[in-house]
Structure 1
Amino acid sequence: MKKRFSFAKLRKIIVVILIWIVFIVKATLVFQTAYEASDRALEYIDNPADGVTVIDKIKLLEFTPENPEIGFIFYPGALVEPDAYAPLMEQLAEHGIKCIIVRMPQYMALLDANGARGIREMYPEIKHWYLGGHSLGGAMASMYGNIHSDEFDGLIFLAAYATDDLTDDDIKVLLVRGDQDKVLNMDRYNECLKNLPSDYQECVIKGGCHAYFGDYGPQQGDGKPSITVEEQTAITVEKLVEFME
């Protein structure tokens, strides 16, 4: 006797199909609305400075100077192409810092907060490591850094804040933001300062905005900067080099 196809099974199949449709639609929208790296940013990948090697390992985008002693793992902001941070990373590499951008699934660090896992072990010659991120990438970096604080010398937040309690961690913290940033939730930012060690450092870039930590053009909802993206990048490089060295 043949088994009858129940409506319960049919409903389950329909639900699964609908879930996949929603997932595909959302993923497609993410790819369509991602902020693309500017041609100027891509030049830092195609034509790096003398002594800096750029290697794309699919999941990782690396900027390596000669004989680096410091490593910096970086989580990009939400919906931003990782290549947009090439100017910042390449210029840090010119100062002897090996920089590794983690390419996040669908441009969302939220989908891979553990993206830094295993990277340090790939380069045992580097003794000092820092972890950081921009915007949502910074928040995800704080989650990973809190759990693995013994693996890093410091955490760096670009237009971001620590969502996890770092007060008991023996780790340095640097916050960098622009005073024209209208994307960063300042109420939440100020509230989360209590999560930081008492000796945290903060740099507020006069005339800087949210988007200019990368080079991907203006960001929706951001403030109007009074400095160029090149100027904000240069200031950020100076502050990060000072912090890491």
Structure 2
Amino acid sequence: MISVMKQAESASTDPTAPQRRWPRRLAIAGAVLLLVVILAIGAFLAYAGNYYRDADTNHANLVSSEQVPVEQQDSYVAFGDPNAKTGLVFYPGAKVEYTSYAPLMRELAERGYLAVVVEMPFNFAFFNINAADSVRSAFPQVQQWWVGGHSLGGSMAAQYAADHAGDATLGGLVLLGSYTASDLSTTDLGIIAAYGSNDHVLNRNKLASSKALMPEDAKIIEISGGNHAQFGDYGAQDGDGEASIPPEQQQAETAEAIDAYVRTLQGAAGQ
């Protein structure tokens, strides 16, 4: 009788044994997943923390002058007349400190633009593609806005332009060492893309194929002797070619090309 009772008890408990092990298995799986997430976050923070810093360590380029007033806020630096007719919101390249583009912004400001470079979370523009919205709201007196960026920042600015293509106050897109992956071919936006002849970072094939994603009047220009990094002021970039012109010349030629293209479009539109 006792043996029969033990067998019955064993039969009643055995089926539940696997069920009792499930919570433990789930706990172990959850702990492993949490560890993987923590390691991934740590690896990303370490990667993002090793970024290209502004070579202007004294931040002399952020000081206002009579010709170029500078307004620095928590998330952007604006160069030039806040009442300018035309403004540019500029997205920095990946892992590049945003103030590195101050020399180029000053060049544009000297030509009459309000040039605003924005700070991106972890120095990656894809974390805040709509950063231009807050800048445009801060300067409502600007009649026409352009968006642009360097490298990854340019591609994210292109996505912003595609998302806001119907906005009458958005004039166009500026791509520096960059290309668009967004289809802008049917828009009325102006697009100018500039790259250095010694740029070894930019994928030239993707730039060429992206021409089909641009309107017919888009312009692609080569800065002779320029490279990828010298659109900013952050030193040499891994994998880049060596420039044969100084950064000041590359930035001045870039600003001049942007200005000429914008003025041509605005003149044609009677603005």
Common fold: TM-score over 0.5: yes
Q: Return the alpha-carbon distance in structure 2 between the equivalents of residues 94 and 40 of structure 1.
A: 22
Structure 1 residue aligned with 2:257, among 233, 239, 243? 239
**1:43 to 1:170, Cα distance in 2 relative to 1, 3 A:** same
Q: Does 1:226 align with 2:244?
A: yes
Q: Return the alpha-carbon distance in structure 1 between the equivalents of residues 37 and 46 of structure 2.
A: 14
Deviations 1:97-153 (A, max 9, x none): 111112111111122222222332222111110000001101111111011013310
Q: Return the alpha-carbon distance in structure 2 between the equivalents of residues 192 and 16 of structure 1.
A: 40
- The aligned counterpart of 2:5 is none
- The aligned counterpart of 1:124 is 140
Q: Does 1:195 align with 2:213?
A: yes
**1:203 to 1:157, Cα distance in 2 relative to 1, 3 A:** same
Q: Does 1:181 align with 2:199?
A: yes
User: Aligned-pair distance for 1:235?
Assistant: 0.4
Letter in 1 for 2:235: G
Instruction: Report the secondary structure of 2:78's partner residue.
Output: strand
Matched-pair identity in %: 33
Q: Return the alpha-carbon distance in structure 2 between the equivalents of residues 73 and 191 of structure 1.
A: 25
1:84-163 map, 5 Å: 84-151=100-167, 152-163=170-181
Q: Is the 8 A contact 2:95 2:124 kept in 1?
A: yes
- Single out whichever of 71-80 and 110-119 deviates more from structure 2: 110-119
User: Aligned-pair distance for 1:53?
Assistant: 2.4
Deviations 1:35-84 (A, max 9, x none): 11112783211x33314222222211221326311110011011111011
Q: Return the alpha-carbon distance in structure 2 between the equivalents of residues 181 and 66 of structure 1.
A: 33
Letter in 2 for 1:36: R
Q: Return the alpha-carbon distance in structure 2 between the equivalents of residues 41 and 71 of structure 1.
A: 26
Q: Return the alpha-carbon distance in structure 2 between the equivalents of residues 102 and 145 of structure 1.
A: 16
Q: Return the alpha-carbon distance in structure 2 between the equivalents of residues 41 and 201 of structure 1.
A: 36
Give the structure with the larger helix fraction: 2
Q: Does 1:169 align with 2:190?
A: no
Q: Return the alpha-carbon distance in structure 2 between the equivalents of residues 202 and 188 of structure 1.
A: 13
Letter in 2 for 1:220: D
Letter in 2 for 1:160: S
**1:66 to 1:18, Cα distance in 2 relative to 1, 3 A:** closer
Instruction: Report the secondary structure of 2:90's partner residue.
Output: strand
Q: Is the 8 A contact 1:41 1:87 kept in 2?
A: no
Q: Return the alpha-carbon distance in structure 2 between the equivalents of residues 174 and 37 of structure 1.
A: 25
Instruction: Report the secondary structure of 2:199's partner residue.
Output: coil
Letter in 1 for 2:75: K
- Single out whichever of 90-99 and 122-131 deviates more from structure 2: 90-99
- The aligned counterpart of 2:15 is none
Letter in 1 for 2:238: Q
Q: Return the alpha-carbon distance in structure 2 between the equivalents of residues 213 and 67 of structure 1.
A: 26
Instruction: Report the secondary structure of 1:177's partner residue.
Output: strand
- The aligned counterpart of 1:64 is 80
Q: Does 1:6 align with 2:6?
A: no
Unaligned runs of 5+ in 1: none
| TM-score after normalising by structure 2 | 0.83
- Single out whichever of 98-107 and 17-26 deviates more from structure 2: 17-26
Relative contact order higher in (CA < 8 Å, ≥ 6 apart): 1
Q: Is the 8 A contact 2:227 2:242 kept in 1?
A: yes
Instruction: Report the secondary structure of 2:142's partner residue.
Output: coil
Letter in 2 for 1:221: G
- The aligned counterpart of 2:96 is 80
The higher radius of gyration belongs to 2
- The aligned counterpart of 2:49 is 31
**1:41 to 1:212, Cα distance in 2 relative to 1, 3 A:** farther
Q: How many residues are treated as equivalent by the alignment?
A: 241
